[in-house]
A and B are shown apart, each in its own frame.
Chain A
Amino acid sequence: MNIPSELKYTKDHEWVSIDGDVITIGITDFAQSELGDIVYVEVETVDETLEAEEVFGTVEAVKTVSDLFLPVSGEIIEFNETLEDEPEKVNTDPYGDGWMIKVKCSDTSEFESLLSADDYKALISA
C-alpha cells in the first residue's frame, strides 16, 4: 500500500498536501483499493467556505456512495474537473492526477490535527 511520507492524512482515508495556507486533498491508495472502481466524483461546493468535518463532496464506486469530509476549515477554491470525465484517475493515480480539491485554509493551526504517514499506516493496519 502506497503511503507517501511527505503527505498528511485523515482518519477518513484522505491525503492532504500542504503548500502555505492552500492544501490539496484526495483519497488514499488504501481508500481507492477498498472502494474499487470509482465511477463518479461529485463536488458542488467550489467557492463555498466550510467548517472542518463538513461534507464537501461524494465519491461513488460501482456499489457504494461515500461522503468526502473536509479535514480543516476553509474555502474550496478548485475541483479537479478532469475527474468529471475520468473518475478512474482516482484509482490509477490517487496521489497525482486523482487529486480532488484545493482549499484555502482559514486556520493553519488546524493542520496539527492531521495524521503523519506513520500514524496513517498504523490506522489502516490496525
Chain B
Amino acid sequence: MKNIALSSTHEALGAKMVPFAGYNMPVQYEGVNVEHETVRNAVGVFDVSHMGEFLIEGPNALDLIQKVTSNDASKLSPGKAQYSCFPNDDGGIVDDLIVYMIKEEQYLLVVNASNIEKDWNWIKSKNDVGAEMRDLSDDYSLLAIQGPKAVEAMQSLTSHDLSAIKFYNFVVGDFAGIENVIISATGYTGSGGFEIYCKNSEVKQVWDKVLEAGADYGIKPIGLAARDTLRLEMGYCLYGNDIDDTTSPLEAGLGWITKFTKKFTNSEALEDQKRRGVDKKLIAFKLDERGIPRQGYDIVDGNGSKIGTVTSGTMSPSLGIGIGLGYVPTVFAKIDSKINIQVRKKAIPATVVKLPFYKG
C-alpha cells in the first residue's frame, strides 16, 4: 500500500486511516456527520492526493484527448476545465475525469486513483497520434478546500482574486507561499471551493497554511467518508459504484458530457443508443420511510419483483433521510415514480426524485 505525502500528518491529527484504491487514506477525523456539516456550512480541507494526474502535451495532445474522451475538449481555452469520461469500446466507461487546459498543446487529465494504471494503458493504446504522455500521479498532491467560506478563508494565501475564478475555471499561480500551484474552482461536494494541485514536496506547507488561514472560519480536515456523503447528496457519480465498464454514459445521465460534435471511442454506438433511447437509467431516489439504502440492495416494484440495483446509498446527513442512486428500466425512471428498496426483509417505499438531493 502506498502512503500519500501527508499520511503521518493525518495520523497525528487523529484520523482513522484506511486502505483506499491502494493508498493509505484518512477516512474520518472527528466524525463523518460533523465533517459533512462543516463543509456544508463553513469550510473543510480534504487530502485527495491519491487521485491520478496525467500530462498530455504536444501538437497532437488535443487530438488524443478528443479521441479518448466523450466531452468536447476543443471548447476549452487555457484556464478552463471540463468534466468528461473515457468511453470504452463496448458501451461502458473506463473512468471519469477532469480535463484541464493548461495552455496550448498542454492538458492535465485528473483521474480516479483506483484506475490510474488502467487509464494510462487505455490512453496509451489509443495514442497513435504521437501525443506526449507523462504520469505525474506519484509526484503531485491534491487538496480540496470546500465549503461556502472557502473563498473568504483562503484569500489571504494568494495574490489572485479567488472570487473571480468561475466554476470549472482555474489559475496557475501563487498559493500559500508556493509558486505554480493550480487553483481550480472545482470539487466533489456541491458546496463550492477550490482544488489545489501542488508537488508532494510542497503539500505540507500548503496544508499547514490552509489550516492556519481557515482557523478563524472554523476549518476542519475532512475524510473520505464525508466526501462520499457530500457527493451523494449532489448525485455526483462515483466510478466503481454508479458508473463502470458496463454502464453507458447515457444510461448514467452523463449525456451532457457526451458530445457528438466530434468522433470518439465508441461514439457511433453511443449516438445510436441516444437515438433509440436507453433501456435503463440511473435514477436518484429518496426513501419515503425510515431506512438506509446501500450499494447492492435490490430495487423492487410493487409486486416485490426485482427491477434494479442500488449503486450508492446512505443516510443523508443534511436531510436526515435515506437517499440513493441505482439503475432501473426506463419506464420506472420518471421523476415521482414509486419504487421500493429491499432493505433486509422489508421493501421500503421510495420516490424517484430530481437531483441534487441537497439544494443548499
CB proximity to A under 8 Å, residues B80-136: none
Is B344 in contact with A62, judged by CB distance below 8 angstroms? no
Whether, in the assembled complex, B32 has its beta carbon less than 8 Å from a beta carbon of chain A, the answer is yes
The yes or no answer to B191 lying at the interface (CB within 8 A) is no
Contacts of B294 in A (CB 8 A): 65
Closest to B344 in A: A58
State whether A37 touches B33 (Cβ < 8 A). yes
Given A62-B33, A62-B314 in contact, is the A36-B290 Cβ separation under 8 Å? no
Given that A36-B225, A39-B315, A62-B225 are contacting pairs, would A84 and B290 also be in contact in the complex, using a CB cutoff of 8 Å? yes
User: Closest CB-CB distance, B111 to chain A, in whole Å?
Assistant: 23
B32 in contact with A36 (CB, 8 Å): yes
Asked if A60 is at the interface (CB within 8 A of a chain B CB), the reply is yes
| Cβ-based interface call for A40 (8 A) | yes
Complexed CA–CA distance, A88 and B34 (Å): 12
Interface residues of B in 14-45 (CB under 8 A from A): 16, 27-28, 31-33
Q: Does B218 touch A at the CB level, under 8 Å?
A: no
Interface residues of B in 302-345 (CB under 8 A from A): 314-315, 317, 344-345
Alpha-carbon distance between A71 and B335 when the two chains are bound, in angstroms: 45
What CA separation (Å) do A65 and B296 show in the bound complex?
13
- The answer to whether B31 and A40 have CB atoms under 8 Å apart is no
- Point out the residues of chain A lying under 8 angstroms from B291, CB to CB: 40, 42
Given contacts A62-B32, A62-B33, contact A40 B228 (CB under 8 A): no
Contacts A36-B28, A37-B31, A40-B315 given; indicate if A60 touches B292 (C-beta within 8 A).
yes
Task: Give the shortest distance, in Å, between B231 (CB) and chain A (any CB).
Answer: 13
Q: A37-B31, A58-B344 are in contact. Are A63 and B228 (CB under 8 A)?
A: yes
The CA of A62 and the CA of B291, in the complex, are separated in Å by: 12
Residue from B32, B225, B229, B292 within 8 A of A40 (CB atoms):
B292
B136 CB → nearest A CB, Å = 30
9 A-B residue pairs with Cβ-Cβ distance under 8 Å, sorted by A, are A36-B16, A36-B31, A37-B33, A39-B315, A60-B292, A60-B315, A62-B314, A62-B315, A63-B32
